[in-house]
């Protein structure tokens, strides 16, 4: 049996985290492009099964036109069985498209109770979300019936999640699920892939990156199981990788020279960049105005993680206007009455004025 495993496509998501409407529109087109690649691969390689492990679309934003686009592509792979487990962003609730839309006949959508679809020598199990949270996973009480067959599990949830906020998203423990005897476990929910060639409990990661917290390649896992021997590989699909570039500005003397330096960087035109400013500075950095000076179209964000280069304690000892100003600022920092970041910003603005 041949299969393709994807998860966390998030069709029609707002891409609010990248804070760029034009780029958000572009990324939604990239979602469609990536999914077309999935379908083309299935057609070219005669793939038996497509596993979609949740968060396929965004319940809050999904449009019927997008569902129709998806279902039309499903019709192009009539001989491939499509299994979907709803996730926390696309739960199987009363008004969801999983409930009310007339999906193509090769599409099967699991509900919240673990169930099995038998197909020749393969048993495919699955369960998904029927609400935006799923606290008591069905897998905890599950026993595999026939280990002689090839057994697949598809679900969406948090594996070995250590934080309380992850324990409401179908929490599972790898020690438990590995003991069940499945030949492959197709997971969704974690946007970073945990794929390794020898692994059979797999998060493929989000099909395309949602932003700068999802670095690296994104795509699909394809696999084949013959006589219970598993072979898999990861295939990248997203052409627009997000990258973070650290720029030390310690030797730069003004916001203009920072802008010139960024504009001279040799950046990959197919990548999206967050520039993180590091090092020491002795001038104010206004990110808003700096961003307006940047001509590199794929510099999406700029973050300031620099530190003030002044020796404040030494400056406060000087009996000058600048020294008295720094002394008052240090008093504000030490009494804890004001936010440190706000006080430091006032300090750098004041010092820059006094330098003139």
Residues 86, 13 share a domain: yes
Residues 280, 172 share a domain: no
The alpha carbon of 298 is separated from its chain's Cα centroid by a whole number of angstroms, namely 19
Residues 291, 229 share a domain: no
pLDDT band at 13 (very low <50, low <70, confident <90, very high): very high
> How many other CB atoms are there within 10 angstroms of residue 265's CB atom?
13
**Averaged pLDDT for residues 287-305:** 92
Q: What is the pLDDT of residues 210-268, one digit of tens each?
A: 888 888 899 999 999 999 999 999 999 998 888 999 999 999 989 999 999 999 999 99
List 123's β-bridge partners, or say none: 118, 151
Rounded Cα gap, residues 200 and 232, in angstroms: 9
Q: Are strands 122-126 and 115-119 parallel, antiparallel or unpaired?
A: antiparallel
Q: Which of 219, 236, 253 is the last residue of a domain?
A: 236
Q: What is the pLDDT of residues 31-46, one digit of tens each?
A: 999 999 999 999 999 9
Q: What is the pLDDT of residue 315?
A: 76
Nearest by Cα to 301 from 277, 265, 266 = 277
Under 8 Å CB-to-CB from 266, ≥6 apart: which residues? none
Burial of residue 105 (CB within 10 Å: 0-12, 13-18, 19+) is exposed
Q: At what angle do helices 321-335 and 340-355 cross, to 10 degrees?
A: 180
Residues 283, 227 share a domain: no
Number of domains the chain is built from: 2
Residues 168, 266 share a domain: no
Residues 120, 65 share a domain: yes
Q: What is the pLDDT of residue 166?
A: 62
Residues 259, 232 share a domain: no
Residues 33, 12 share a domain: yes
Residues 246, 230 share a domain: no
Domain with residue 117: its CATH number is: 3.60.21.10
List 302's β-bridge partners, or say none: 275
What is the pTM assigned to this prediction? Answer: 0.83
The alpha carbon of 286 is separated from its chain's Cα centroid by a whole number of angstroms, namely 29
Average pLDDT, the chain: 90
Q: Which of 209, 236, 263 is the last residue of a domain?
A: 236
> What is the span of the domain harbouring residue 197?
2-236
Residues 216, 174 share a domain: yes
Q: Which of 184, 210, 236 is the last residue of a domain?
A: 236
Q: What is the pLDDT of residue 164?
A: 56
Residue 229 gets the label, from left (phi > 0), alpha (psi -120 to 50) or beta, of: beta
Inform me whether the pLDDT recorded for 165 exceeds 80: no
Residues 192, 335 share a domain: no
Residues 22, 128 share a domain: yes
Q: At what angle do helices 21-45 and 64-75 cross, to 10 degrees?
A: 20
The residue to which tokens 């001279």 are assigned: 264
């Amino acid at each position: 049996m041949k299969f393709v495993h994807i998860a966390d496509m998030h069709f029609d998501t707002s891409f609010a985290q990248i804070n760029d409407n034009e780029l958000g529109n572009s990324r939604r087109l990239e979602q469609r492009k990536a999914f077309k690649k999935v379908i083309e691969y299935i057609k070219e390689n005669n793939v038996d099964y497509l596993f979609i492990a949740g968060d396929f679309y965004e319940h809050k934003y999904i449009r019927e036109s997008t569902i129709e686009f998806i279902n039309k592509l499903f019709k192009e792979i009539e001989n491939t069985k499509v299994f979907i487990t709803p996730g926390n962003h696309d739960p199987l609730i009363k008004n969801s498209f999983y409930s009310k839309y007339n999906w193509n006949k090769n599409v099967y959508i699991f509900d919240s109770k673990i169930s099995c679809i038998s197909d020749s020598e393969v048993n495919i199990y699955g369960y998904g979300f029927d609400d935006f949270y799923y606290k008591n996973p069905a897998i905890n009480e599950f026993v595999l019936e026939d280990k002689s067959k090839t057994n697949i599990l598809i679900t969406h949830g948090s594996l070995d999640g250590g934080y309380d906020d992850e324990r409401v998203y179908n929490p599972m423990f790898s020690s438990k699920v590995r003991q069940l005897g499945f030949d492959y476990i197709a997971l969704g929910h974690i946007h970073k892939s945990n794929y390794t060639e020898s692994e059979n409990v797999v998060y493929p990661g989000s099909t395309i990156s949602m932003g700068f917290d999802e670095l690296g390649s994104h795509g699909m896992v394809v696999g084949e199981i013959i006589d219970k021997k598993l072979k898999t590989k990861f295939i990248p699909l997203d052409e627009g990788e997000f990258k973070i570039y650290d720029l030390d500005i310690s030797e730069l003397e003004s916001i203009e020279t920072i802008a010139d330096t960024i504009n001279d960087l040799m950046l990959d035109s197919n990548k999206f960049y967050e520039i993180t400013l590091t090092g020491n500075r002795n001038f104010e950095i206004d990110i808003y105005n700096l961003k307006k000076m940047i001509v590199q179209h794929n510099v999406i964000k700029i973050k300031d993680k620099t530190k003030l280069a002044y020796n404040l304690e030494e400056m406060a000892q000087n009996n000058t206007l600048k020294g008295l100003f720094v002394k008052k600022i240090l008093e504000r920092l030490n009494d804890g009455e004001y936010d440190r970041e706000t006080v430091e910003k006032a300090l750098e603005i004041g010092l820059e004025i006094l330098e003139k």
